[in-house]
Amino acid sequence: MYFIYTKIGDAASAFKIAQQIIEYFPEDERGYIFAASYYKEQAYDYESAYRILKKGLEAAAETNQLNLSLMSTYSNMENYESAFDLANTMFKNKKDLDNNSLSSLYKDQGYNYYVKGMYSKAVKQYQIALTYADKKYQKRVVYFMSFWPQIKNRRI
């Protein structure tokens, strides 16, 4: 139901379902991720998304999807050092990630390098992200590579 409501643009109903998932299945990471995505994508309230994800990490323990969502939230909050540290931690356990999660991890780490001004490392991370992504997810990775024209104008 959550996905149906998001497809028809009813974010408030999707959020209510996410809250019900959290209430009935507190150890299920999806409710926390869905609720946090509501705040990130609909309300642009990254602090609320961060609080929900932190609750998820306490209740559902450390999961790859929660960590990826938290890393994205750190970037939205411009807390790049925390995002960078979390990415480095996740790289240590990358064998537990599926391909799209790996792609997301490399993409986010590429953005972290970009923010730090390490453009050649950023390009390499995005290139690796594309190798892991399936065709549907590649569109997202390419979308986030929109900073490349800025990189091309600089010496790498």
Note the pLDDT tens digit of each residue in 57-109: 999 887 888 999 999 899 889 999 999 999 999 998 888 888 888 888 998 89
| pLDDT (0 to 100) of residue 58 | 92
Question: pLDDT class for 2, splitting at 50, 70, 90?
Answer: very low
Residue 84 and residue 14: Cα distance in Å, rounded? 30
pTM: 0.78
Report the sign of the C-alpha dihedral through residues 56, 81, 40, 69, in that order.
negative
Give the chain's radius of gyration (CA, Å).
16
**With 60 as the cut, is the pLDDT of residue 49 above it?**
yes
Note the pLDDT tens digit of each residue in 119-139: 888 888 888 888 887 776 666
**With 70 as the cut, is the pLDDT of residue 19 above it?**
yes
Question: pLDDT class for 116, splitting at 50, 70, 90?
Answer: confident
Report the sign of the C-alpha dihedral through residues 29, 31, 36, 38, in that order.
positive
User: Which alpha helices (DSSP H) does the chain contain, by range?
Assistant: 2-7, 11-24, 29-38, 46-59, 64-76, 80-92, 99-115, 119-132, 135-144, 148-152
Question: pLDDT class for 54, splitting at 50, 70, 90?
Answer: very high
Looking at residues 24-29, what average pLDDT do you find?
A: 91
| pLDDT (0 to 100) of residue 139 | 62
Q: What percentage of residues in the chain have a pLDDT greater than 90?
A: 27
| pLDDT (0 to 100) of residue 38 | 87
| pLDDT (0 to 100) of residue 153 | 52
